[in-house]
Amino acid sequence: MKPKLRVVLVGPSIRFLSGISYYTIRLANAISESTDVTAILFRNMLPRRIFPGWKRVGDPLSTVSYTAEVKVMELLDWYSPISWMRAAAQLRKADIIIFQWWTSSVAHMYVALQLMRFRKVPIIIEYHEVVDPLEHSILPIRIYSVLMGRIIRKRADGYVVHSEADRALVETSYHVPQDKVMVIPHGLYDQYPVIERTIARKQLEIAEEHVILFFGLLRPYKGVKNLIEAFDSLPTELLHSTRLLIVGEAWEDKDSLARAEKSPNRNKITIVDRYIGDDEVPVYFSASDIVALPYTRASQSGVAHIAMAFGLSIIATKVGGLEEGLQTYSGALFISPNNKEELKDALIRQIGKKDSFPPPANLAWSGIGKQWTTFLSSVILNRSNEGA
C-alpha cells in the first residue's frame, strides 16, 4: 500500500483568532482524508499589544476544531528562534509544506523556517491577501513586506489562490508565472447550526420584518459607510420595517461607527462593536434576510462563505475575487463598488424576498481537499522530475 503524503501546514492558531485560523482548520481536516497532516501553528504572531484585537487574544471564541487525524502543534513564537528550530524539525519530516500567507507580520518566521528546513522539501504558499491595504499604506511595513516576501517567494515551488483575479494579481505584483499558480476555491464555512428565524430574532430583540446584516471586522475598504448611507436613503415604508445590523470589531474604521451614530435612522441600526464568537454567529445569520458585502476591494470573504452556508441573499460588489467566489451561488446580486445608488436599489430589490438558496456544490470541502491533494502530488512529481 502506497504511504500517504506527509503534509505540514503552517498557519495561525485560534489564539489570534481570525478567518485564516478557521480556514487553516478546515483545510487541514479536508486534506487529512487522504494525506498525513501536521499543523504547525503560530502561538504568538506579533507583540500582543500591537494586535488591534489584543484584548481578546487567547479567549475561547471558537468551537471549530481539528479532527483526530491531524497532528496539531502550537509552536511558533515571533520572538523565539528556539520555537522556529522546533518547528523546522517537523518540516524536515514532510513531503511538502504549505505556508498560509495573509500578513507580513509572520514573514521573518517563514524565512527562518525555509532556511532551517535543510532538506529541499517543496513549499507551497497560499495567498489569502495578496496585498494587505493597511500594510501597503505604511511605508516601512511596505518595504519590509516587499523584501521579505521576495525572499520567501524565491524558495517556493508553487502558489495557491482562490480566484483568477488573485492569480492575475500575484502575477503582476510578484512576477510569478501563471503556470505556477493554482486556483482552488475557498470552501464553505458550514460549521454553524441554523436557528429558526423567529427564535433568532427573539434572542436579538428584533421586531422588524426585514433584516440586513453586515458582519465582520470593520475596515475602510469594506464600504460600511456606503451601506449606512444607502440604508438611510431607503423609502420611508421600508425603513419602518427594516433593521440594519452592523456586527463586528471596528479596527481602522471608526468613521463608519460615527456615521451610524449620526444616522437619522439610528433607532433602526444595531451596532455590535466587538468580535463575535462561534456561539453567537448562528444567531446573527439566522436572524437575517440579506448579507451586504459592499467592499471597495477584496480577495475573498469568509463572511460570504458563511452566508452561502445559511442560504441567505447576498449583495456584493464586483471587486477582486469576491464576484468570482460567488459566481456559482444563485442568491448573489452584484453591484458596482462605491455606488450608493446601486446599493440602495439592490437593497430595495432584495428586501422582502425570503428565499433560501442552496450552497454551491463546488465549494464543499471534500472536493476542495481532493483538488489540493492532486495539486500537492503534482508539485512533488515535478520536483522529482527536475531532480532526475
Q: What is the pLDDT of residues 235-262, one digit of tens each?
A: 999 999 999 999 999 877 889 999 999 9
pTM: 0.92
Could you give the residue range(s) of every CATH 3.40.50.2000 domain in the chain? 5-187+364-387, 197-362
- Please tell me the predicted confidence (pLDDT) of residue 388: 47
Top CATH class, 197-362: alpha beta
Q: pLDDT digit string (tens) for 26-62?
A: 999 999 999 999 999 998 887 777 776 767 877 888 8
68-105 tens-digit pLDDT? 999 999 999 999 999 999 999 999 999 999 999 988 88
pLDDT average, residue stretch 184-197: 96
Mean pLDDT of the chain: 91
Among 2-11, 117-126, 194-203, 272-281, the minimum mean pLDDT is found in 117-126
- Residue 159's pLDDT band, with cuts at 50, 70 and 90, is very high
pLDDT at residue 190 is higher than 90: yes
Unique residue bearing C-alpha cell 470573504 = 301
CATH fold group of domain 5-187+364-387: Rossmann fold (3.40.50)
Q: Residue 173 has what pLDDT?
A: 84
